[in-house]
Structure formats: structure tokens, C-alpha cells
Structure 1
Amino acid sequence: MSEIKVPAMGESITEGTVSRWMVKEGDTVNQGDVLLELETDKVNIEISAEESGVLEKIIRQEGETVVIGETIGTLSAGAGGGNAPAASEPAAAESKPASAPAPVAPAAVAAPPESSDSNKTASPSARKLARERGIELDQVQSKDPIGRVYQDDVKSHGSQPSTPVAPPAAKAPASAPSAPAASGATFAKPVERQRMSRRRATIAKRLVEAQQTAAMLTTFNEVDMTAIMDVRKRRKDKFKEKHDINLGFMSFFTKAVVGALKKFPTINAEIDGEDVVLKKFYDIGIAVSAKEGLVVPVVRDADRLGFAEIERSIADLASKARSNTLALSDLQGGTFTITNGGTFGSLLSTPILNTPQVGILGMHKIQLRPVAIDAERMENRPMMYIALSYDHRIIDGSEAVRFLVTVKELLEDPESLLIEG
């Protein structure tokens, strides 16, 4: 019999959540078959069978948190192969009498702690300590912004014997009947409670951390998109014919950002303790909306790529994000981020930093607006508001404003992107 264990999942990931089992106990599997899907903070990972056999036991159920190296199931070796259906039926029939009493005993012993744990997200060490001390996780107060319970929370709860909340709970039923009687019109409103996915919870936590740890400020400007739209109109057909990819706006903005970062290197940096780490490469994160929430895959060495290579790279990363096939390497190590709320109709917004990066550019909807060309002439021009959120701890306001002005100037003179970007 072999154990199914949680594999190492990459930098900074120490645990995950069992998203779904693809097989059930008693199923025959072949080597390489996908057994389950594990949801981590960044990507979903499939765990495959290392050998053929029968799935004997599922130890960790869907929705449970698991850590690297933990055993989550067992596989009896040697029973797999091409003739799985014929071989598995007698095996299942023979195992039935032996396994009949087994579910009864575990259910009686394991059901209570599982049901009490399942209502709250907690680290494995916190669950273990709570079980040892006989503490209901639902009663533990969490200091975490998204409500996740850690070992210290359980210890703090255990050190306060006066925490039983029985008296207030007892009063509630007594007062509940009297309220409807007095008003005669109190009815329960329909609600639906959904548990946040691990990735959504992580996004929430990181956004709160960004606002709590960085001195975040945003500066705004606007771009006349006439020149870029003219280039695209004249070149898009030949571009598509030659490169088999559409000429979009993102390649122009990526090149403009690279050109501005070269001029203002502090915005391509990060803070490490009391040091400022200036990065001499340009890995640009492009925010993509996926089913589970916003992800930021990275276009590597954007300064060395042509327009077609940037467009192809973005299209490939966006496709992988929407099909949930991004690898961890696709998401790590960006130096600056671009997010485009304009695709959803946003006219103006304040993007939140993608820490530990210290700058993020927000694009918005293109709108025809009257613009003064000179003292006497007005024209309707396709205008876009752009926003730069930055970490004021290392970036001065004047530097941020000049960076955004540089982006604006490069975009309004697309030919300059061939030199500066």
C-alpha cells in the first residue's frame, strides 16, 4: 500500500485546500491518472497517481486544508491496468463485509470534531490544538483580516476561561419571540452564504496588507489616444497577416511603461527591510480577470520583446488564466503591473499595489471628449484617463507625476516607443 502525499508546490506555498477528488474510494486507477485537484493561493495543482492500483481510502475530504508532505489518501498497488473494470468488481464485493463495520466506528469518533471544524478556515496546527483542548473553532476569535484561525488564536482562547458565551445565547431565544409579537411584521430575509475560495481569501488578504503596509498614493493624467488609434487602423491588417496576432493597446502601454521605468528606476524597485532593491530588468505583470478572481501573470523581459511578441505573450497568459492552467512560474517575480479596468467600462479608478512592487498603472475606458487644440479650436478626441498608484515611502510625488507624464508623452507619440520602449 502506498500513501498519496501533498507534493512541494513552489516558492512560498506551504499549504492548500482539497478542491475536488476525481476518483472515489474503491476506484481503480492507472499510473499518471489525476486523483485530485488541490487549490493553492496562486494556482490549482493536479495530483496524479504514482503507480497503478485501487484507491483504498480518502483521508482528507474536499474543502479541507492540507500541508506539504501530509498524507491525504492511500492506494493499494498492483491492482490497476487496462482490465480495471473486471478486476475491480470482485475486489469490491470481497471488501464489502470487511469494510461494513469500519464506517460506523470512524463516524462515531471523527464526526463531531470534523463538523465543528468545517465552519471556519484554520491552519492544520490550529485544528490539532483545538481538538486536543476540546475547543470549538467557531468560538475562537481570529486576529486575521479574513478570519482564518491560527495556533496563537486557539492558545489565546484557551487562556481566557471566562469566554463561555452561554448567558447572551440564552437570552436571545427569550427575546426573539417577543419582537415579532410586538411588531407583527418581522420575517427572515432570504440569504445565501458562500465560503470564499482559497484564492479569493488570499486576494482579500493581500489587498488589505498592501493598504496597511504601503504608503499608497495615486496620481492621474489623461492620454489622447488619436495617434495610437491611427497607427492601429493603418497597420492592424498587415500586422495580423504577418504575425497572426491582433495589434492591441497593451503592447503600446507595455512599451510606454518600460520606457518610463528606464527613466525613473525607483518605480521599478521594491523595499527589503531598510534597503531599496533596484531591478535592472523589466518583467511586467498584466492583470487578467479569471473565474476565481484577478491574477497577474508576468511578461518576462518586456524591454527585449517586439510588439508582436508582447501581444502573443499576453494572449497566451490570458488564455491560461481563464482555463486555470497558469503555472506558478507565470505569476512570480513581476517588477511593475498594468491593469485595464477600461475593458469593463471603468472611467476612473485607484488601483491597489501588487506588493512587493511599488507601482501599478491603471488604464481606463476610451471616451470621445471635447479637447482644446489651441486658443480657438476644439475637437472631439478619444481620451483615456490613466492612474499611477505608488508607494510614497520611496517614491516622491514629483517623481510619480513625471513618470506618468512620460507614459502619456510616449503614448501620444507612438514612434518614440520604438526608441524609448
Structure 2
Amino acid sequence: MNEIIVPQLAESVTEGTVAEWLKKPGDIINKGDIVVELETDKVNVELNSDYSGVLKEVLKQSGDTVKVGEVIAVIANEAEELAEPAPKKKDAEGNSSYESEIDQGSPTQGQQRPLAFPSARKHAREKGIDLNAIPSSDPLGRVRKKDVDSYEATRQSGEKKQLEVEDIKNVTQNNTREAKRQTEGKWHQSDLNNERIERIKMSRRRQTIAKRLVEAQQTAAMLTTYNEVDMTEVMKLRNRRKDKFYEQHGVKLGFMSLFTKAVVVTLKQFPLLNAEIQEDEIILKKFYDIGVAVSTDEGLVVPVVREADRLSFAEIEKEISDLAMKARDNKLKLGDLQGGTFTITNGGVYGSLWSTPILNSPQVGILGMHKIQKRPVAIDDDKQENRPMMYIALSYDHRIIDGKEAVSFLEKVKQLLEDPEDLFLG
């Protein structure tokens, strides 16, 4: 027998959720076949089999939480699967000995041996519980480890937690009346049992996003400063060069590469925004791995453009395009998401005019782009023009970055984008 074990998924990732079994018990498996897909905090991970054989047993079902190092399935080689069961040894009294296979005590005469997973048998044996007494939640009637735990919890609670049927009815009726009274008709207890509401379990990724967004605001002293950029020159430059750029590089010239280049140049001038805090130390990073926020069906992910300071505009555009496609196809690897030093997010693609980006911990800075919209701008004392304007926002950790530095950072980004020729040629 060989086991499928949850591998080390990534640094700081200790557990995941079984998303989907791609093989079912009884299927023949070849070495290298994808057997199961796990959902982690950041991406989905496909587990390949290190063995050939037959999938003997699945120990965790879709939706179950699994930890690194945990056995989630058993693979038998075909010889083991086809072999007849070995005769059971007899003890001195003539009783069959099932060793590790059987629960505490042997079945009595005429009593069928209960179906159970090996992990459940072992668990029940350790707790001194008779498997015959445990109700199964498995569609095939097999007792699972969680069934043992559930039975034990019920047994321990005992009669002191049980109420007479009439008492339960009375309590339920009283609670229902009180709930209706307190909500003043805003919603009804009966809604819980009909189609007027729907309860949906959050995916692991959504749970993690929610947790980290709250942690970021509770941990960092987050502030946001705003400015606006006249996008006239950037748009002119892009329109002049886009056709030739595409012919030469096979990728479109977008705004993200221009913003990425502007951010990298500015980070070199303001290094604290390319840092992180570790206890009582500031870690200054001399490399520029820029995270680019991408929206997916399951939430926002932030793949990283590595060594952005060393990449050309075309290389940045290609990398962003590839990462965005991977994100939307759910093919990002954990390595694509780790180690960013600063993040850029663009709510403008969805029409956002103004927003406050939240820090991507442990980073201390994030730049928010927004929708380009024509607005009247004073050119001089006597002249106004409608210009394509974009609000930009910088959220930063005030624990190590002062307001003056944050405002100056954003002003520098603005200047580079409003006069982009040197930035582009450089």
C-alpha cells in the first residue's frame, strides 16, 4: 500500500481544502497522474501520484480541511488489489485476530463486521468505541474518522444536554416569538426554511482574503494620500507608439507598464516604500518585485512581476498579460504570488473613480489607479481645457513612512507620468 500525503505547499501555508477528486476509488492510476486538487489560501494545487496502482481508498472528501503531512488517500498496487485476502490468524481460543484492521473486540456470531476506513477503526479503537454503535455519514455506509469524533461528542454530552420533546417545542416557540418581536418584522424566522435566503460557505481563498484585509488594517497604521494625473501626454505617447510597439513585440502597449516603470523609478528615490517591518527592524529591499492586482471569480490575487527594474516595457506587458491569464484560468503557482515588495491595483478597469486601496501585508505601500475621465483643468489664469484626468491613491504604513514622504512619492509618480518621454526612452 502507498499513501497520498499532503506535501509542503509553500512557506507559511499549513493547510488546504480538498477542492475536487479527479480519480475515484477503483480507478487505475499511473505515476504522475493528477489525483486531487487542493484549494489553498492563494491558489489551487494539483497533487500528482508518485505511484502506479489502484486508488484503494479516499480518506478526505471534497470540502474537508487537510493539513500538510496528512494522509488523504491510499493506493494499492494491482497485485495487492487483486490478491485474495490472507487467512486470518487464530488465537488460542480460536477467535479471528484482525490486528490493525478491526476495532476493539471481534464481531459476535451473526453480527456483520462494520464497514469503516482504517483511520476510523484506529481512532475508534484508541477511544474504546464500538464501531457498530457509530452512525455513518458516508453514502456507502462506511464509518469515517469524523463520525467517530461526532459520536464521541454526543456520547460525552450525555443525557444532561438532552431535553424532553415538549420542552424543545416550548423553547423553540418562545425563541421564535422573541426573534420576531426583536426584529420588528424586518425578517422572519420562517425565512430560514425557505428560498428567501441562501447560506453559502465562503471558499478558503475568500476566507483568507477577508482575514488578511482585516489584519492589514489592525496591524498597520494605514493612511492614504491622493493626487491626480493629467494623462494627456501618456495617451499621446501611447497612441503614437502602440502600432509599432505591437509589431515589434507582439503585445499591446498598456498603461500598466508605464505605471510600473514610474513606480520603480520613484521607489529608488523613496526606499522606505519598498520595505517591510519585522518586529523592531525595517527591512529595506534592494530589488523591485511589483505585485499587480488581478480580479478572479474567487477574489483578488496579486501575482508578482519579478525584477521589474530590469525589464523593458514589452517584457513588463508580456509578464502582466501572462500572469493575468494564469490568474483567470486558476493556473497560478504559489511562487507567482510570493515575495512582492510593492503593489499596484487598477480599479479603473471596472469604472472606479476614487478608492482607498488596502495594504498587501507585509508590504508598506500600494498604489491605486482609477478611471480616466475628462475634467475641466485650469491651464493658466485665463484658460481652461477638458483633460483626461486620473485620480491616484497611495496607501502607506504610517509606522515607518511620514506624510511628507508619502505625498512626495505620489507627486513624483505624477510628474513622471505627465512627462513620460524620458521614462519611456530610458
TMscore range, shorter length? 0.7 to 0.9
Q: Which amino acid in the other structure matches residue 225 of structure 2?
A: T
1:51 match: secondary structure: coil
Give, in whole Å, the separation in 2 of the partners of 1:211 and 1:287: 18
Q: Which amino acid in the other structure matches residue 307 of structure 1?
A: F
Tell me how many residue pairs correspond in the alignment.
Answer: 369
Residue 316 of structure 1, CA deviation: 0.7
* 1:305 corresponds to which of 299, 305, 311: 311
Give, in whole Å, the separation in 2 of the partners of 1:225 and 1:388: 18
Give, in whole Å, the separation in 2 of the partners of 1:359 and 1:112: 51
Q: Which amino acid in the other structure matches residue 53 of structure 2?
A: G
The CA deviation string for residues 213-269 of structure 1, in whole angstroms up to 9 with x for no partner, is 000000000000000100111110000000000000000100111111111111111
The CA deviation string for residues 154-174 of structure 1, in whole angstroms up to 9 with x for no partner, is xxxx9xxxx979899953323
CA shift in 2, pair 1:71/1:178, >3 Å: closer
The CA deviation string for residues 343-376 of structure 1, in whole angstroms up to 9 with x for no partner, is 0000000000000000000000000111110111
Instruction: After TM superposition, list the pairs within 5 Å mapping 1:161-176 onto structure 2.
Output: 171-174=171-174, 176=176
* 2:410 corresponds to which of 381, 404, 407: 404
Please say if 1:42 is aligned against 2:61: no
Give, in whole Å, the separation in 1 of the partners of 2:411 and 2:154: 58
Q: Which amino acid in the other structure matches residue 403 of structure 1?
A: F
Match of 1:392 in 2: 398
Match of 1:134 in 2: 153
TM-score by length of 1: 0.80
CA shift in 2, pair 1:281/1:370, >3 Å: same
* 1:226 corresponds to which of 232, 237, 251: 232
1:389 match: secondary structure: strand
TM-score by length of 2: 0.79
Give, in whole Å, the separation in 1 of the partners of 2:152 and 2:222: 42
Give, in whole Å, the separation in 2 of the partners of 1:164 and 1:300: 58
Q: Which amino acid in the other structure matches residue 273 of structure 1?
A: E
Match of 1:339 in 2: 345
Please say if 1:350 is aligned against 2:356: yes
Contact 2:136–2:147 (CA<8 Å) still a contact in 1? no
CA shift in 2, pair 1:128/1:243, >3 Å: same
Match of 2:109 in 1: none
Give, in whole Å, the separation in 1 of the partners of 2:409 and 2:292: 19
Give, in whole Å, the separation in 2 of the partners of 1:401 and 1:105: 64
Residue 50 of structure 1, CA deviation: 1.6
* 1:289 corresponds to which of 291, 295, 313: 295
CA shift in 2, pair 1:179/1:330, >3 Å: closer
Contact 2:342–2:365 (CA<8 Å) still a contact in 1? yes
1:191 match: secondary structure: coil
Q: Which amino acid in the other structure matches residue 331 of structure 2?
A: T
Contact 2:229–2:389 (CA<8 Å) still a contact in 1? yes
Residue 295 of structure 1, CA deviation: 0.4
Match of 2:105 in 1: none
Contact 2:135–2:147 (CA<8 Å) still a contact in 1? no
Contact 2:15–2:66 (CA<8 Å) still a contact in 1? yes
CA shift in 2, pair 1:108/1:62, >3 Å: farther
CA RMSD after TM alignment: 3.4
Stretches of structure 2 lacking an aligned partner (at least 5 in a row): 86-111, 118-130, 140-144
Give, in whole Å, the separation in 1 of the partners of 2:53 and 2:398: 58
Match of 1:25 in 2: 25
Give, in whole Å, the separation in 1 of the partners of 2:180 and 2:262: 63
Match of 1:4 in 2: 4
CA shift in 2, pair 1:392/1:168, >3 Å: farther
Q: Which amino acid in the other structure matches residue 73 of structure 2?
A: G
Residue 29 of structure 1, CA deviation: 1.8
Structure (1 or 2) with the larger CA radius of gyration: 2
CA shift in 2, pair 1:297/1:109, >3 Å: farther
The CA deviation string for residues 127-182 of structure 1, in whole angstroms up to 9 with x for no partner, is 8997697279xxxxxxxxxxxxxxxxxxxxx9xxxx97989995332353699899
Instruction: After TM superposition, list the pairs within 5 Å mapping 1:2-401 onto structure 2.
Output: 2-78=2-78, 104=115, 111=135, 134=153, 171-174=171-174, 176=176, 188=191, 190-401=196-407
Give, in whole Å, the separation in 1 of the partners of 2:199 and 2:177: 24
CA shift in 2, pair 1:54/1:113, >3 Å: closer
Structure 1 window deviating more from structure 2 (172-181 vs 225-234): it is 172-181
Give, in whole Å, the separation in 2 of the partners of 1:259 and 1:179: 59
Give, in whole Å, the separation in 2 of the partners of 1:37 and 1:308: 34
Stretches of structure 1 lacking an aligned partner (at least 5 in a row): 81-87, 96-100, 116-123, 137-157
CA shift in 2, pair 1:218/1:114, >3 Å: farther
Contact 2:39–2:204 (CA<8 Å) still a contact in 1? yes
Match of 2:88 in 1: none
Q: Which amino acid in the other structure matches residue 258 of structure 1?
A: V
Give, in whole Å, the separation in 2 of the partners of 1:135 and 1:258: 59
